Amino acid sequence: MKVNLRRKEVSKYTLHTRVSGVEMRATTVHLPQTSSSLTTSPTTSIRTRNPHLLHFTSSITISRASSFKLWCIQNHDNKPSQWQDDFSSLKTTDLLQCDSGSTWSTLGFYIFSLHIPLSFGGLSVVAQLRHQTVLDPNTQVFSLLLIQTLELVSFLSLMEFSNNRVNILSLFETRKERNWFVASVLGVVFLLAFVFLTSFAADKLVGPKDVNNPIFKEILTGGPLSVTGSTLVYCLVTPLLEETVYRGFLLTCLASRMKWETAVMVSSIVFSATHLSVDNFLQLFVIGVVLGCSYCWSGTLISPFVIHSLYNALILVITFIS
């Protein structure tokens, strides 16, 4: 065992303990401003009061010529709990060290230049090009499929020119120590439970509302072709797009600079806000939290993608049956 005493200020020293090549910051030594010296005399030794390190004895000693008193104060580092360490498999060394300014500027450019114009104005542009006031269900669903695909490709292209270049394909790689299938099953169960609870609470507070999206209703009346197109849009392209943006890019960058719990909360707020739906904000936030936790635990985008796809499929089935 080797102890190094480093001078931090006039009357404060920090003991750095090295055991088997691993440095541990254990104690801080405060010394009055006295012209005394530290020597390596073998007469007096300092033993740590940490009960886990009682069998270690430091090799730095105080000479008998010194008349000052010496006391040690245990440093308490704000380290995450064992549960926090064990839950998330997103290791900082595996993540891209994203620049904060570049992360938000890239996301802002995507939202205001791609997401809002395409997702909320794309169908209007198609209707104007076709000189129609209302699009028929088949045209509407395949226009949505084209728009969502264009938005996904545009975002991937944007990443190539961004300072935060995230390898999207690597985010879909599985980890041997975490089972993405188990994470997906548990995620679906928790998601349905939380959505039910939030919907029940919202009904009690603001009154019941129609759970079926009128756009879904109109599209699904177009026959088998529109149903097939809706399945491709809402169960494949849209989940892939949103998981790539909000979990693969945003959550990954945030988790490289903050705790994973905080990163999940922030990314979920952004995910919910970009849907521009006040009525569904809380429900979308809960969905974002479940998807984010699933991604952090499994370490792969496969799990939140599967959960997202199954949830959207369930919504389509309920709408179709009703």
Q: Is 117 exposed, middle or buried (0-12, 13-18, 19+ CB in 10 A)?
A: middle
Tokens at 95, concatenated? 């993540």
Query: What single letter denotes the amino acid at residue 260?
Result: W
Q: Which residue has the tokens 């709408």?
A: 319
- SS3 call for 12: strand
Q: Return the structure tokens found at 193.
A: 């439970």
Q: Say what the pTM is.
A: 0.72
Give me the residue spans of the domains in the chain.
2-77, 85-321
Let me know the angle formed at the C-alpha of 296 by 277 and 245, rounded to the nearest 5 degrees: 45
**What pLDDT shows up at residue 95?**
52
pLDDT of residue 306: 97
> How many other C-beta atoms are found inside a 10 Å radius of the C-beta of residue 292?
26
pLDDT of residue 84: 53
SS3 state at 322: coil
Please state, in angstroms and rounded to a whole number, the distance separating the CA atoms of residues 244 and 309: 13
Residue with tokens 């991937």: 156
Task: Of 321, 318, 313, 311, give the one whose Cα is nearest residue 194.
Answer: 311
Q: Give pLDDT tens digits along the chain (322 positions).
A: 444 444 444 444 444 444 444 444 444 444 444 444 444 444 444 444 444 444 444 444 444 444 444 343 444 444 545 545 578 887 655 455 577 788 899 999 999 999 999 999 999 999 999 998 888 999 999 999 999 999 999 999 998 887 766 677 888 988 888 899 999 999 999 999 998 898 888 777 776 666 566 677 778 878 889 999 999 999 999 999 999 999 999 999 899 888 999 999 999 999 999 999 988 899 999 999 999 999 999 999 999 999 999 999 999 998 888 7
d(CA 32, CA 36): 9
The two three-digit tokens of residue 243, written as one number: 């998981």
Q: Are 3 and 15 in contact (CB under 8 A)?
A: yes
Calpha distance 145→151 (Å, rounded): 10
| Residue 103 to residues 109, 163, 211, 255, Cα–Cα distance (Å) | 10, 8, 35, 12
The CA distance from 113 to 121, in Å, is 11
Question: Which residue type does 218 have?
Answer: E
* C-alpha to C-alpha distances, 27 to 32, 68, 75, 155, 293, nearest whole angstrom: 17, 18, 6, 50, 36
Count of beta carbons in the 10 Å neighbourhood of residue 219: 25
**What CA–CA distances, in Å, run from 3 to 12, 19, 27, 233?**
16, 9, 11, 62
